[in-house]
Amino acid sequence: MNKKMKKFLSFISSLKVAIFLLILIAIYIVIGTMLPQHGTQELYEQRYPTISSIIITLHLDKAYSSPIFFSAHLSFCHQSHILYNIKPQRTIPCGKEVILSDLRRKG
């Protein structure tokens, strides 16, 4: 792997990214709980005249099925699984291999 890819994988697997995704998911859950879901545009314009365009644009009227919520949820839930399969695996010697390697060092 090249240096840029290693840096990218290191960033994605960082705790900061995981915490950011959890916070994003929590925000969407709170918004989905507070706002009526799957309402008409008129409903949001009537109840929330100043932020109705933001609600519609960010799909907050469909918080649990919005692309942002889905992407954050998918990224967080599958982050470790995907990274485990991408990063090169290190084999851990066990059993007979350990004994042979110890004998080689001593002998």
pLDDT tens for each residue of 24-60: 888 888 988 888 888 888 999 999 999 999 988 888 8
CA distances from 89 to 11, 42, 43, 70 (A): 18, 54, 53, 29
- Identify the pLDDT of residue 45: 92
pLDDT in tens, 65-77: 878 777 777 777 6
pTM: 0.58
